[in-house]
Structure 1
Amino acid sequence: MRIWLAAVGKAKPGPARDLFEEYKARITWPFQLREVETKKRLEGVELKRAEAELLLASLPPGATIVALDERGRMMGSEDFAARMGQWRDAAVGDLAFVIGGADGLDATIRQKAALVLAFSPMTWPHMMVRGMLAEQVYRAQQILAGHPYHRA
């Protein structure tokens, strides 16, 4: 299974990017980051629609999509790992996580998603969410391998 992360915005050097890179390096599944940005000055619905087009275009065809959205389903790490294991065991070739911009995700992405996932009802900086996601993917990998990391 190949893991993809499509996200709006370019990560700048700093602690949030370092956190993402640290956990990404620990993940044994191939993991690819695709950063997208609109070139036009858009706002509101038009901006979200343009970002959605760029995000979806950055993913491999047929990828199973997980949309990160504050209105999504919250789940514990073990449930998340179980879901990742189900996709792995079902021979999902490409699993794509999608993080929108400051205004969130366009509805088209949520509708295409196999899972709409929320880390919390709180709003998190988008660059921080990348690191949090990478850590949870790593944690899921360790849970599925029977490693005690997840109990730390």
Structure 2
Amino acid sequence: MRIAILAIGRQKGGPEAILVADYLARFDAVGRGLGLGPARLQEIEDKKRVGESRLLIDAIPDGAFAVALDERGKAISSRAFAGLICAKRDEGRRDMVFLVGGADGHTDALRARADRLLGFGPMVWPHMLARAMLAEQLYRAASILSGAPYHRD
């Protein structure tokens, strides 16, 4: 199952971009044997002022399971996150996408389109840091599913 982080804005390098690239590479290495990956980051800019949420919705592949990172979303454990990914893979989903909004967050239309709203707790996180946190959780999920010792309960 292919994984994509669809995110508003462009990273211009820096520590967050390095973390995202590193964790997605780690995910690919572990996930390949699990039928997961590749994982990619697709950055989306609203140059024509269409609306960030509209652009994210339009970027979701047909049949993909869409997870919106949202402050209203439910926080789950790393094991539950791994279980969600495993369940969607086992259902035969070809794609799973994670939607990361810009500074203004997601619209009601995007939240309605998403199959799941996921939160990283009640705090609001900068969208560039949320990408890095998500990439790490993807790698952690693959590690959990593979039985690697990276995750400790």
TM normalised by structure 2 equals 0.90
1:31 positional shift: 1.1
1:36 positional shift: 1.1
1:37 match: 45
List per-residue Cα deviations over 1:101-130 (Å, max 9, x = no partner): 101001111111111000111111100111
Q: Is the counterpart of residue 85 in structure 1 residue 86 in structure 2?
A: yes
Worse-matched range after superposition: 73-82 or 29-38: 29-38
Which 4+ runs in 1 deviate beyond 6 A?
none
1:64 match: 65
One-letter amino acid matched to 2:45: E
1:8 match: 8
Q: State how far apart, in whole Å, the 1-side matches of 2:45 and 2:124 are.
A: 21
Q: State how far apart, in whole Å, the 2-side matches of 1:124 and 1:150 are.
A: 23
List per-residue Cα deviations over 1:59-94 (Å, max 9, x = no partner): 212211000001100001011111111111111100
Q: State how far apart, in whole Å, the 1-side matches of 2:88 and 2:46 are.
A: 31
1:97 positional shift: 0.3
Q: Is the 8 A contact 2:9 2:43 kept in 1?
A: yes
One-letter amino acid matched to 2:15: P
Q: Which runs of 5+ in 1 are unaligned?
A: 42-48
One-letter amino acid matched to 1:116: L
Q: SS of 1:68's equivalent? A: strand
Q: State how far apart, in whole Å, the 2-side matches of 1:102 and 1:18 are.
A: 21
Q: State how far apart, in whole Å, the 2-side matches of 1:90 and 1:70 are.
A: 27
Within a 5 Å distance, the mapping from 1:3-152 to structure 2 comes to 3-28=3-28, 29-40=37-48, 50-151=51-152
One-letter amino acid matched to 1:110: R
TM normalised by structure 1 equals 0.90
One-letter amino acid matched to 2:20: F
What is the root-mean-square deviation in Å for CA atoms of aligned residues? Answer: 1.4
Aligned length: 145
Q: State how far apart, in whole Å, the 1-side matches of 2:17 and 2:40 are.
A: 14
Q: Which runs of 5+ in 2 are unaligned?
A: 29-36
Identity %: 48
One-letter amino acid matched to 2:8: V
